[in-house]
Amino acid sequence: MTDTLPDRLASNPDSPFYDEELLAKGIGIRFNGVEKNNVDEYCVSEGWVRVTAGNAKDRFGNPMTIKLKGKVEPYIKTEA
């Protein structure tokens, strides 16, 4: 398997962009040069990430998310 990451990836199993095998490797996201740990979904080509909005929940009990636009840099985390 190559180390190239997809253009779009989601951590929600209901999303068509979910990839359990890839997420198990450990994906890190740099957004505008800052490491983000609460990213639910990202898209490199469109330049956005979805992050959780605190403890807020929608009417179905899913966490509320906010879409932020900027430079997205995904990478595979390495154990040091």
Domain ranges of the chain: 8-76
Predicted confidence at residue 16, as pLDDT, reads 94
Q: Which helix (H) or strand (E) holds 20?
A: helix 20-25
Distance in angstroms (rounded) separating the CA atoms of residues 73 and 29 = 6
pLDDT at 62 over 50: yes
Predicted confidence at residue 25, as pLDDT, reads 87
Q: Which two tokens stand for residue 38?
A: 């609460």
Q: pLDDT of 25-48, one tens digit each?
A: 889 999 999 999 889 999 999 999
pLDDT at 10 over 70: yes
Q: What is the mean pLDDT of the chain?
A: 90
Distance in angstroms (rounded) separating the CA atoms of residues 70 and 80 = 28
Distance in angstroms (rounded) separating the CA atoms of residues 50 and 40 = 5
